[in-house]
Structure 1
Amino acid sequence: MHQINKITIKDVAREAGCGVATASRVLNNSGPASAQVREKVEKAAHDLGFSFSAIGRALQSNKSMTVGCIVPSLVNPVFAEAVQGVQSVLLGSGYQLLIASSNYEAKADEELIENLLSKGVDGLLATVASPSLSNALKLAKTRNIPISLMFHDPLDGFSTAYVDNFEAAREVARQFAHYQHRKTGFLTLRFSSSDRSRNRYAGFHAECKALGLNDPILIELSEADANMPQKLALVLEGYSDLTAIFASNDFLAIAIQKAMRLLNKRVPHDLSVIGFDGIEIGRLLEVPLATIETDPDKMGQQAAKTLLKKIQGEVGEQQPSLPFKFRTGATIAPPRANSHDDDQVAPRSPSIHLTKRLLNKG
């Protein structure tokens, strides 16, 4: 039998005409190298069929060559797209991505981060309920584990890839004002523990006030109620004087449309709705969703690039906020002439008849 000689990094360096240290830097993506040298090393590795073992790298550098990533949900395409952006940056870097989903639970955030730390990850990418209150993130910092946040507004001690939630929400208020809406609401989940929701409400409230609109009504839902159209319909019936609602994410905006149909009402004829995120499915609805459109893929890319710099000992500086834009849809229109958007109608509780009808449907 013929013995097959294992290709080593020395073979790659010899083929590329460079030193072993240079070849190692290129293949590990761990230091500077000219484009010409990088091309030669990568071509030599490819031609020779060289594979730099992740285990070998980890042993050599005393690193696990893994990056932990925690997001609230992988069902919500916004977070899935961000993870895709992260993966596109890490691909070819030698780092493996370990993904965890907390289902929007602060307690799960803590447990999952601690679990990732126990696996010896070299860095963390995170979207959590409240980074400033997270003991697990504080633990990671005391261990000098590089951290890069996604979706969170800037926070002392952390770098983050984000959209300016305050400014984006001001645009929502301007759109409602353009269509002559005065009585509006802000629908959200977990308001007290979500910095994203709080900043969106703050921007929305500030611009409504600046434009002379009524202060927006804050409507907070539980996860269970948000996922049950009958319950959401009952909540909306209690705010029937509102002519427009800003939903803190697109899923809630879509849920409003279904709930309004249960009330035998229509969006935007009876209620205008604007969402936040710009998920693609919003374009495909029978009534396409008006929303604040962001680019979560770029957000994930930016966060991953910052994290890699930190892991390699460079300064991961805070980058400017990523752009957003208002995406025109069919869920916004002027209030109906008989909507009485004149501050005279107080929110009313759902009628007994309506309650029985909706709960019977459940």
Structure 2
Amino acid sequence: MNKPTMKDVARLSGVSTATVSRVLNKSGAVREEMKRRVAAAMEELGYKPNGVARSLRKNQTKTIGVIIPDISNPYFMKASKGIEDILYPKGYHLIFCSSDENPRKEQNLLTLLSEKRVDAIVVATAGGNEDFIRYLHSSGIPIMLIDRKIEGGGLDLIAEDNFQGAYRLTKKVLDQGHRRIGIVNGLLGVSTGKDRKAGFEKAIGEYGIDQDPQLVFDGSFTEESGRRAAARFMQLADRPTAIVCLNNLMASGVLLQLNQQGVDIRDIVVASYGSIEMAPLVAPHDSLITVKQYPYDMGNRAAQILLARLQKEGEEPREEILETGLD
């Protein structure tokens, strides 16, 4: 038996196919009596609208792609939740993807989402895809950058003031009297890694400190890179008295490694850009300094900006930089 069509619904309900279309799409004026007749005919025939065909006609799919660099990082999980809590009640479904900090995978995901005809894409970029992101934006897909910038601007963006956050974090360590400070950088190919490193360098420069290369570890925003940094620092004859970690997962790795090696956490300060969920289990409060972050609020605001863009409210790109504080 052939599937019932819109024409079948129109014939049974005694209205035009245009009227059936207006009822399905909730567009235009249709009398209540006609709505009831169309609904009754659909039920009798077992008619189900073709969602793909409708999305092509309306040029929207009510889906939003979200690409984050690490789905296991609580920071990005909270940001994603903030996005969903705004967009889902508005009728949008989200497709969540993780690039794993891999630019090639990110480009594949961007391509996939564009082929799926998502209405917009939210991306915390892994770097290296600036030109492709701009190409997608110029082709008509709204792009919302979150957490990480790309060179040149020109796209909607919401991010933290990573430079100032790292500067204040490092300055707090310096104000406590520490001068031999280890630094665990994140990925330097993305804006968060570069800006936080620059904030750290400004702070130690103001105190006239030349950073010892042995105390610099370039990590990858992962727990494992934090572990490797701490292991290397603890092998030094002249160990650091404090370690500044430029994201929370690397700080978690540092704490776990110090604990595994039997280092008394009270003898070394760990400063983390972002809260560490397991910190109360392995370190006393006065051995930790953390930057306050508000990823859920960031996700909420990103979704609000994106909604305005989808509703064609304004043409100029919106850029919002959020302030951070210290715990």
1:205 aligns with 2:201: yes
- SS of equivalent residue, structure 2 residue 244: strand
Q: Which deviates the most, 240-249 or 100-109?
A: 240-249
* Residue in structure 1 matched with residue 261 of structure 2 by the alignment: 263
2:224 to 216, 223, 226: 226
Deviation at 1:279, TM superposition (A): 4.7
Map residues 167-246 of structure 1 onto 2, 5 A cutoff: 167-191=164-188, 193-215=189-211, 217-221=215-219, 226=224, 229=227, 231-239=228-236, 240-246=238-244
- SS of equivalent residue, structure 1 residue 81: helix
* Residue in structure 1 matched with residue 247 of structure 2 by the alignment: 249
* Residue in structure 1 matched with residue 162 of structure 2 by the alignment: 165
Distance 1:158 1:281, change over 3 A: farther
- SS of equivalent residue, structure 2 residue 154: coil
Report the number of matched residues. Answer: 288
8 Å CA contact 2:222, 2:250 repeated in 1: no
Deviation at 1:319, TM superposition (A): 4.0
Distance 1:322 1:108, change over 3 A: same
TM-score (norm 1): 0.69
* Residue in structure 2 matched with residue 320 of structure 1 by the alignment: 320
Give the Cα separation in 2 of the matches to 1:198 and 1:115. 29
* Residue in structure 1 matched with residue 302 of structure 2 by the alignment: 303
8 Å CA contact 2:247, 2:274 repeated in 1: yes
Give the Cα separation in 1 of the matches to 2:164 and 2:81. 26
Distance 1:319 1:57, change over 3 A: farther
Give the Cα separation in 2 of the matches to 1:228 and 1:210. 26
Deviation at 1:273, TM superposition (A): 0.9
Distance 1:320 1:299, change over 3 A: same
Give the Cα separation in 1 of the matches to 2:279 and 2:251. 9
1:79 aligns with 2:76: yes
Deviation at 1:232, TM superposition (A): 4.3
Give the Cα separation in 2 of the matches to 1:165 and 1:201. 9
| Matching residue's letter, 1:147 | I
TM-score (norm 2): 0.76
| Matching residue's letter, 2:138 | T
Map residues 63-212 of structure 1 onto 2, 5 A cutoff: 63-130=60-127, 133-153=129-149, 155=151, 156-191=153-188, 193-212=189-208
Specify every segment of 5 or more residues in structure 1 that has no aligned partner in the other structure, as ranges: 13-18, 24-51, 328-362
Give the Cα separation in 2 of the matches to 1:10 and 1:142. 32
Question: What is the root-mean-square deviation in Å for CA atoms of aligned residues?
Answer: 3.3
Specify every segment of 5 or more residues in structure 2 that has no aligned partner in the other structure, as ranges: 1-12, 14-19, 31-48
Distance 1:102 1:236, change over 3 A: same
Deviation at 1:126, TM superposition (A): 0.2
Which aligned segments of 4 or more residues in structure 1 are displaced greater than 4 angstroms?
8-12, 19-23, 52-57, 222-225, 283-286
Distance 1:214 1:272, change over 3 A: farther
Deviation at 1:318, TM superposition (A): 2.4
